[in-house]
Amino acid sequence: AEMAMVCLTDFEEYAKEHLSKATWDYYAAGVLLPVLIRLRPRILRDVSVSDTRTTVQGTEISFPVGIAPTAFHCLAWHEGEMATARGTEAVNTCYITSTYSTCSVEEIVAAAPNGYRWFQLYVYRDRKLSESIVHRVEALGYKALVLTVDVPYTGKRRNDIRNQFKLPPHLKVKNFDGVIQEAASSEEYGIPSNTLDPSISWKDVYWLQSLTRLPIIIKGILTKEDAELAVEHGVQGIIVSNHGGRQLDGGPATIDALSEIVDTVQGRIEVYLDGGIRTGSDVLKAVALGAKCVFIGRPAVWGLAYKGEEGVREVLQILNDEFRLSMALSGCRNVAEINRNLIQFSKLT
């Protein structure tokens, strides 16, 4: 009989069983230990009707969860990012497309023409390459650029080294297909490495602003100092992210870094979070601590591995149901009612 999917870890188990070891290891690299935060639920508040909708960058989405950028979706499902785009469109939330997609942005938009999308961007050594992808996604109707700033170099993923993990030859980083030459066999992950520029700095934010009218969201901020600089540089949002724990060994869990950033930003721009969101109550805690929306990375890949578009939709639907239930059980009828009073700040031993 078909396995009933009840929570996100069911998809994790399925994906672990069905993906190749090298693919599983690539996505699993760097997971963090869970952080313990407890809630202070309110009672007797008539939660018979509840509304999980919110907005990001002025656009309404069905609940404060979107899809974080992760690479190479064709490793998990033959239709790759086209399936992710359709699954996300079906639940009306935001899909951040990875630069390292195995479908092109044109294919993704054609697959889900009504989807709400942001594009994740790296600053390339060849700035002309950045310019062309920015113009492409702008013309295709992407609504924001998510600039990833925590990969001056790729983190050390021990299992990827052991597995000599590479994108298999039948898959391509489709956005660069025909734009730049094939990767040399020695190149990391088997993809062209002339992309990431370790010399990027705050001045590149001004350079990016000069190229586009789209809102710019910086992904990979973990301190209040950098959050303040982001606001001063005129960006429209921050994603508190540690790149799924895949970059710096010993960095913070994002949920622990969130509060100092929210306090510093003081509502001047929107603050989002990714990393470690696995249940509706995780979403509730992040929103209570000031995240306008959270993004899930690995769970979307597990959903893809399970059933493509349908699996992504199911993962999001389960998280939506759990979020609605957590809201009700803590006395919140809508997202505006979720605030810091819900969080127990006392030290746990």
* Contacting positions for ligand HOC (CB under 6 A): 71, 100, 151, 154, 188-189, 191, 193, 196, 243, 246
For residue 174, what is the DSSP state? G
- Closer CB to ligand HOC, 100 or 176, in the complex: 100
Residue closer to ligand HOC by CB (options 100, 118) is 100
> Which CB sits closer to ligand HOC, 200 or 262?
200
Helix (H, G, I), strand (E, B) or coil at 74: helix
**Least CB distance from residue 280 to ligand HOC, whole Å?**
26
Rounded least distance, CB 123 to ligand HOC, Å: 13
Q: Which three-class secondary structure string do you get for 282-331?
A: HHHHHHHCCCCEEEECHHHHHHHHHHHHHHHHHHHHHHHHHHHHHHHHCC
Query: Quick one: 108 or 151, whose CB is closer to ligand HOC?
Result: 151
Distances (CA, A) of 238 to 181, 298, 300, 303, 305: 33, 20, 21, 26, 29
Question: Cβ 83 to ligand HOC, closest distance in Å?
Answer: 19
> At closest approach, how far in Å is the CB of 137 from ligand HOC?
17
Is 18 among the catalytic positions? no
Q: 241: phi > 0 → left, psi -120 to 50 → alpha, else beta; which? A: beta
Beta strands (DSSP E) in 14-74 are: 38-39, 54-56, 59-61, 65-67
Exposed / middle / buried, residue 147 (Cβ in 10 Å: 0-12, 13-18, 19+): buried
What tokens appear for 100 in the block? Answer: 């390292």
> Can you tell me the distance from the alpha carbon of 279 to that of 273, in angstroms, rounded to the nearest whole number?
14
Residue 87 or 245: which CB sits closer to ligand HOC? 245
No. of H helices and E strands in the chain?
11, 12
Which residue number, 219 or 285, has a Cβ lying nearer to ligand HOC? 219
The residues, any chain, with a CB within 8 Å of residue 211's CB and separated by 6 or more, are: 130, 131, 134, 135
Tokens encoding 183 = 């990767």
Indicate if the alpha-carbon torsion angle 75, 77, 79, 83 is positive or negative. Answer: negative
Report, in Å, the least distance between residue 199 CB and ligand HOC: 16
CB of 161 vs ligand HOC, minimal distance in Å: 13
Q: Which residues are catalytic?
A: 243
